[in-house]
Amino acid sequence: MKIFQMTEEDMTLLLDAAKAAEFEVIGSHVKVGVRIWNEDRTRGIKWNPLYDDADALRLAVKLGIGVEYYHHAHRVIIKLPNGFTYGVSNGRGKYDMYEATRRAIVKAASVVSKNPEKYIGGDYELA
């Protein structure tokens, strides 16, 4: 199993993504990610869409983010509900298409959290 050590930027992206998805963060740790309430608010659950495919998929579905992956170009295309489309070119270090896809989803959610009214009908640029 891959050891995951988050950077400060990763934690910021996670917290922003949780905000966009309207999840209440109840804790965080650099080796785990964040803890959020489960749906009936009876217990905290680990949530890290930068590392977990299922968490990333749920985040994309909740925010209406479309995802396309182009193997030949090693590129992830993100489509926001307002119709805006942008591409992200890879993960960290050795190319990992799954990591790149999860990271693109989380970055999109982070952008949404900072300006939700623009998300509904504007353009975004990811660094």
pLDDT tens digits along 27-52: 887 777 899 988 888 898 999 999 99
| Distance of alpha carbon 113 from alpha carbon 30, whole angstroms | 21
Note the pLDDT of residue 41.
86
Contact 88, 104 (CB under 8 A): yes
Number of domains into which the chain is organized: 1
State residue 51's pLDDT score: 92
- Domain residues for the domain of 27 are 8-121
Average pLDDT rounded to a whole number, residues 7-25: 93
Name the pLDDT band for 92 (thresholds 50, 70, 90): low
> Helix, strand, coil % (nearest 5) of the chain?
40, 20, 40
Q: Is residue 126 part of a domain?
A: no
The pLDDT value recorded for residue 94 is 61
Mean confidence (pLDDT) of the chain: 82
In a domain, 3, yes or no: no
Residue 54 has pLDDT above 90, yes or no: yes
Residues 62-80: what's their mean pLDDT?
85
Per the structure block, which two tokens stand in for 78?
A: 């993100």
Return d(Cα 50, Cα 57) in angstroms, integer: 11
Would you say residue 83 lies in a domain?
yes
